[in-house]
A and B are shown apart, each in its own frame.
Chain A
C-alpha cells in the first residue's frame, strides 16, 4: 500500500481542519445574512472531507486551484482563517487585500494559486502549473478542485485531452455533489459518473465516497505518490453532499433536503470522529475541544476582520498592471 494507514495524530489534524472549515462556513452564512459579508457567497458545508484529505497531503510548492466554492480548499491548503475572513469582509488585511472576495481567493504563499467564478475556468490553468512542474524537473504537482457541473464545459474536455497527451502531473479532483448549480446531473448528461467521462484516455481514475475521509485520503495519496514520480494525469471523483444551497439565499426548491438522521450517518466529520473513537484515539472531551477550538478560531477571525480597515481607493490603480 502506497499510503500508510491513518494514525491518531493525522486523524486529529484532519478533524481540526474539517471543523475549521465548517465553523468558518457556518459563520460566513450568518455574516452574509447580517451583510457583514456582501455579494455572492457559496458555502461548502458538508464537503469538508475532500478539502481536508487532499490538501493535508500537499506541500506549499504544489499548486492548487478551485472554483466558486473555494473557502474550504483555501483553508485546508493553509490560508489563515483571519486573512480569509478579512477577505470575505472586503478588508485590506484580506488574502487579496479585499479585491478578490469569496469567489477569487488566492494565497500564493501556500500554493493556493487561484479560484474562479467561471465554472471550469481554472481547469486548464491548473494544467499550466502541471506543465511548469514537469518542465522545471521538480516533483511538485498541480491539483484542481471542480464540481460535476464543470465536466460538461469545454474547459474540462480540452484539458483532459491535453493532460493525457502530455502526461502531466495534474490531479483532477471532482467534488460531485449531484447538482450543477440548481440542476441535477441527470438533466445535463447521460454519463452518471465523472470518472467514466475520462475512460477513453486511459489514465487512472476512481470514484470514492467523498464523505469517507479515509477513502479520499488513500485514493488521493496513491495518485499523489505516482504524480510525484512523474506520472499523470489522474482523476478522483468524490461523491459529496452540498448541505446548503448553491449560493447563500438559494431557496433550494429544486431538491429535497437530506434527512437529519441520514446526514448523521454520512457527515464526514462525524464519521471520522466515530472511527477515531473506535480506534481509541479520541474521547468525547477531545472531540468537543476540537469543535470549540475551531469555533473560537473563527470568532477571532471575525474580530480580526471587523477591526481591519477597508482598502484605500488608491490600491486599484496599482493593481491594474504589474510593472517593473
Chain B
C-alpha cells in the first residue's frame, strides 16, 4: 500500500518512523520547536527533539559525540551551505573517527540539509555542493529525487553506521509522489533506472532527474530513446549500473545542478572515461550549472542552470545530430 505525500513530508515520515522504532534516534537543529516540527516534540519529547542555537559546529560535534556514545542523531541543518561554517566537524572529524581509530568506533549520524534552491535565493542559499562531500572517504552522500526515495533513503541513512550527508533538493520540496506505507528502506549504492532506452544514457540526480526525463520525452518524439539513470546516492556510487547502460548505448550525457568543476558529473565522467572508454562512440557531455555564483536576477539564474533544452541539445550533440537552430 502507498499514499501520496510531498517530498519534504516523506522525509519527516521516515524520521518519525525511525524515532518510534529506535529510542537511540535523536533529532535536533535550529528552530525545531516551531510549529512545523511540534509533532516531533509531542511524540518524542524535548530530550530527543532539541532546538539548538545557531551553532553548526556545536550541533554537528554534539551529534558525533552522542553517536560515539551510542545514539543515532539526525541533525537538521536546513541549508547545505550552513555546513560550510562547520566543515571541521563534517569533513575532518565525523568521517575520520572510524578509520583513525582502527575501527574501534563508529559515527552513525545523519546531517540533513537542503540544497539547490535556485528560486531567487541568490548566491549563498542555492548551491549544489554535493560533490564536496562525495570526495571525503567515510561519508555517505544521499540525493533523493522522488518522495518515495526521500523516505526510503532517510530510513536507511538513520540505520547506517556511518556519517551520512542527506541532501534534499529544495526545488522538489512540495513535489508530490506515491510513498510506500510503513517501514520502507531504499538501499544505498543502487541506482534507479528511471526510463529505459538504447540510444543514449543520461545520468542525473535530484531536481535534474525530472529535467532529464522531460528532455527524454521530447527526444522520444523524434525517435531517440534515452535511458535515464538516477544514482540516488553519490557515495557509495553505483558506477556498475552506469557502465552497463553506457555499454548498451555508447553515449553519455551527465546532468548536474552543481557547478562544473565541483560536480558529481565530473567524477562520473572520469569513471566512465577510465572504465567504459571502449564502449563510448562519442565524447561524454556534461550539462552542469555554469561555473559562477548563482545570480539573484531570475533570467540570469535560469541562464546558469541546466534545463530541458540544454539536455536535449547535449543529446543531439552526443548523437552527432545537427543542433536545432531557432
Contact = CB atoms under 8 A, between A and B. Distances in A.
B320 interface: no
B98 A319 contact: yes
B174 interface: no
B140 to A, nearest CB: 7
B161 interface: yes
Interface string A130-149: 11110110000010000000
A124 B105 contact: no
A321 B61 contact: no
A320 B162 CA distance: 9
Contact of A132 (B65, B100, B102): B65
B278 interface: no
A321 B140 contact: yes
A51 to B, nearest CB: 20
A22 interface: no
A324 B66 CA distance: 20
A248 B171 CA distance: 52
Contacts of A104: 96, 100-101
Contacts of A113: 65, 68-69, 105
Contact of A136 (B50, B64, B70, B137): B70
B140 A128 contact: no
A301 interface: no
Given A124-B60, A127-B61, A322-B106, A158 B101 contact: no
Given A96-B102, A116-B93, A320-B138, A158 B58 contact: yes
A292 interface: no
Contacts of A72: none
A121 interface: yes
Interface string B42-61: 00000110101101011011
B99 interface: yes
Contacts of A323: 161-162
Interface in B237-262: none
Contacts of B26: 135
Interface centre among B47, B65, B98, B102 (most CB of A within 10 A): B65
A118 B96 CA distance: 12
A323 B65 CA distance: 19
B105 A114 contact: yes
A279 interface: no
Contact of A133 (B48, B58, B69, B73): B69
Contact of A96 (B50, B88, B100): B100
Given A100-B100, A125-B68, A127-B61, A161 B55 contact: yes
B92 interface: yes
Given A63-B65, A124-B61, A165-B53, A132 B98 contact: no
A104 to B, nearest CB: 4
Interface in A279-323: 315-316, 318-323
Nearest to B236: A321
Contacts of A135: 26, 47-48, 66, 71
Interface residues of A, number: 51
Nearest to A115: B100
Given A135-B47, A322-B106, A322-B161, A96 B65 contact: no
A14 interface: no
Contacts of B63: 128
B115 to A, nearest CB: 23
A158 B103 contact: no
Interface in B147-196: 161-162
Given A106-B97, A113-B68, A322 B103 contact: yes
A165 B71 CA distance: 20
B69 A321 contact: no
Contacts of A162: 52-53, 55, 58, 62
A318 B98 CA distance: 10
A42 interface: no
B57 A154 contact: yes
A63 B64 CA distance: 13
Contacts of B138: 320-321
B61 A128 contact: yes
Interface in B22-56: 26, 47-48, 50, 52-53, 55
Interface centre among A118, A155, A166, A321 (most CB of B within 10 A): A321
Contact of A319 (B60, B69, B103, B161): B103
Interface centre among B88, B96, B99, B161 (most CB of A within 10 A): B99
A37 interface: no
A17 interface: no
B89 to A, nearest CB: 7
Interface in B65-117: 65-71, 73, 88-89, 92-93, 96-106
B14 to A, nearest CB: 20
A50 to B, nearest CB: 21
A127 B28 CA distance: 14
A127 B70 contact: no
A65 B55 CA distance: 20
9 contacts: A98-B102, A114-B97, A116-B93, A125-B93, A135-B66, A155-B88, A158-B61, A318-B103, A321-B236
